[in-house]
Structure 1
């Protein structure tokens, strides 16, 4: 098992914190946290204050440091807002301290459904129902933020954002052809049909705002004693665009009433959650955004997430990722494309 000392230079971190006036003395009880499979999370205490450090994995991608700094930027911008999020403390953009950019945030007190439910939540369907509504309220609050007023005017490129989506992700799918052994998704899975429908039916206008980018229920911490959201977590895909993208992500990933899941996150079954129609109705009560074209966002969510998951499957076919993980994600991708085609069928006049 990898230890904290193998991943984090604690002496270098303490020296950096000294220079940032973030307490004095040793870092107490440093421990790695579960959750966040793509990044390293470490919690520790210093002078009776608790900190959580987040940094890229040891085997970083080319944009890992930039992504880490963008996460810190959006969390800093949300400070003082009603959006439930981890409290931002400080960021180190330089890589000479720990070998990568990193930031410090306040710990979130709560639980993630992937890791199990407290007894209170297991036994109370009303609390589970509230969990779903609270999740939607958090996304509505995020979409209501004036991104320019909080300093994120240059954080994304909202012009033409929706029109870029289908071509951008179709191009991503095509790029997987470099992986030997990958059986390319084709029209049997409806790729061209979905892409064409998205292009033809793309909404003509939207009000730009902050997007979380990966808003499924696995990226939420809930309070231990209620159904309220403690924090939206894992902000690495955040940008400026159409916040209804996040609602479309919910449509793509939310379990069916019979328990069928497009995205197999693991963890316990939540039988008391609201259904998708109830979630959409609730979003409409907390946002002034026009939901007339919301099916488009759901179909895009299915299309985009399927292509993202298929990337791991393509790498697994070439021996660059776990065969078992790759197959599981491919199965999820097929389920997502199936849901997209079903949504299209419901929206054909």
Structure 2
């Protein structure tokens, strides 16, 4: 692990946080995430914590902002949103070459492999899926003033901001020409729905970014807040759908966990969210397509970082251009189905 982080100064910093860490500390890269890097920190008494830092190498402006992620998760302490307890943050150059955040280790399961999903009974899978939708409602119910997040981001129309931002990210990170990216951007821009109001938006909410209690069938912690912003809450619901393939999809993309028996359909997720929040979800088709388009662009950025610095490649391996192409093709299909 020494090739990724300087463990000795980080260990000394952790030992100053008042969490009774007993050295020596062990650091293990964990998770399937390919954006900010996540480490399991274990001490001599087998206490466990989670540490986050940005990827290695050159990064795009505004991307992988661990300091911002720390601010958001700190603001969510004590709200209805399940998040780990935050213990510390530093960007002291004597400790680290990049910002670091340390938080509690939350016991439970991250359902980020087929094997993990298969270990959960079918009936419980349904409960977990519905819990995702209702937990997302809790995120969108956060009082921005009380959480100190009202100035987190612009209050200008969200869809337009997203389209501009992610199109710019594509231009900065693309590894090849892909005309469908521009085509979908134009169609989405021409069909922006009425704004649903301002809420905290997680920005990357899906099955692999939460910790679950497989016995109780519920979400126990929401992780990976680095893309969070303020905007239309339906954007998060559309993103969840984009990460939720069904076995009967014409083009099945991404993690196949939600295609296993027991999980609710995308339509059932939308219904549960509407029930939990009372929001109008009639424009969800637009946000679903935007979610697919955005995920493909994020994946292209991950591919670019893996090419530029192979140390950033997740333990699950490098993203393929074929996956990105399939995501864009699926976005096109769903756009046509939604009349975009």
TM-score, shorter chain, exceeding 0.5: yes
Distance 2:324 2:64 in 1: 28
Question: Which residue is equivalent to 1:270?
Answer: 260
Q: Find out whether 1:283 has 2:288 as its counterpart.
A: no
Q: Answer yes or no: is the 8 Å Cα contact 2:25–2:44 preserved in 1.
A: no
Q: Find out whether 1:226 has 2:216 as its counterpart.
A: yes
Question: Which residue is equivalent to 2:23?
Answer: 27
Aligned equivalent of 1:102, options 100, 103, 106: 100
Question: Counterparts of 1:180-259 in structure 2 under 5 Å?
Answer: 182=176, 184-186=177-179, 189=180, 191-258=181-248
Question: Which residue is equivalent to 1:93?
Answer: 91
Residue by residue, what CA displacement relative to the aligned partner does 1:319-349 show, whole Å, maximum 9, x if unpaired? 64779966x5422222222232222223339
Q: Find out whether 1:339 has 2:336 as its counterpart.
A: no
Aligned equivalent of 1:157, options 154, 158, 163: 154
Residue by residue, what CA displacement relative to the aligned partner does 1:202-259 show, whole Å, maximum 9, x if unpaired? 1232321111111122212211423211212122211222222111112212111337
Q: Find out whether 1:79 has 2:77 as its counterpart.
A: yes
SS of 1:229's partner is strand
Aligned pair count reads 334
Task: Report the alpha carbon displacement of residue 268 of structure 1 after superposing the two structures with TM.
Answer: 9.0
Task: Report the alpha carbon displacement of residue 18 of structure 1 after superposing the two structures with TM.
Answer: 5.2
Distance 1:62 1:200 in 2: 27
Q: Alpha carbons of 1:338 and 1:63: their partners in 2 closer, same or farther (altered >3 Å)?
A: closer
SS of 1:278's partner is helix
Task: Report the alpha carbon displacement of residue 80 of structure 1 after superposing the two structures with TM.
Answer: 1.0
Residue by residue, what CA displacement relative to the aligned partner does 1:234-292 show, whole Å, maximum 9, x if unpaired? 22211222222111112212111337775423669632110000000000011133212
Uncovered stretches (5+) of structure 2, i.e. residues with no partner = none
Stretch moving more, 164-173 or 151-160: 164-173
Question: Which residue is equivalent to 1:133?
Answer: 130
Question: Which residue is equivalent to 2:10?
Answer: 13
Q: Answer yes or no: is the 8 Å Cα contact 1:133–1:282 preserved in 2.
A: yes
Distance 1:308 1:6 in 2: 25
Q: Answer yes or no: is the 8 Å Cα contact 1:172–1:307 preserved in 2.
A: yes
Q: Answer yes or no: is the 8 Å Cα contact 2:64–2:226 preserved in 1.
A: no
Q: Answer yes or no: is the 8 Å Cα contact 1:157–1:240 preserved in 2.
A: yes
Q: Answer yes or no: is the 8 Å Cα contact 1:118–1:224 preserved in 2.
A: no
Q: Alpha carbons of 1:125 and 1:58: their partners in 2 closer, same or farther (altered >3 Å)?
A: same
Uncovered stretches (5+) of structure 1, i.e. residues with no partner = none
Distance 2:289 2:146 in 1: 31
Q: Alpha carbons of 1:291 and 1:23: their partners in 2 closer, same or farther (altered >3 Å)?
A: same
SS of 1:51's partner is strand
SS of 2:159's partner is helix
Distance 1:142 1:174 in 2: 31
Q: Answer yes or no: is the 8 Å Cα contact 1:31–1:42 preserved in 2.
A: yes
- Point out the structure with the larger helix share: 1
Distance 1:70 1:63 in 2: 13
Distance 2:150 2:4 in 1: 35
Q: Alpha carbons of 1:50 and 1:162: their partners in 2 closer, same or farther (altered >3 Å)?
A: same
Question: Which residue is equivalent to 1:143?
Answer: 140
Aligned equivalent of 1:171, options 165, 168, 171: 168
